[in-house]
Amino acid sequence: MLGAQRLTQALEHAVNHDSLTGASTRASFKAQVARLPPGPKAVLLVDIDHFKAVNDRFGHQAGDTALCQFAMRLKRNCREDDIVARFGGEEFVVLLHDVEIEAAQAAAERLCAKLREAPLVLEGQAHRLTASFGVAILSDTARLDDALARADAALYRAKNGGRDRVCVADG
Is 91 a catalytic site residue?
no
Mean pLDDT, rounded, for 62-71 = 93
Close Cβ partners of 17 (under 8 Å, ≥ 6 residues apart)? 23, 24, 25, 28
Residues 6+ apart with CB under 8 A from 52: none
pLDDT in tens, 78-103: 999 999 999 989 999 999 999 999 99
pTM for the model stands at 0.91
pLDDT of residue 152: 98
Residue 32, Cβ neighbours under 10 Å: how many?
Answer: 15
> What digits encode the pLDDT tens for the residues 107-153?
999 999 999 998 888 888 888 889 999 999 999 999 999 999 999 99
Which one from 90, 102, 117, 123 is the annotated catalytic residue?
Answer: 90
CB atoms within 10 A of CB 92: 27
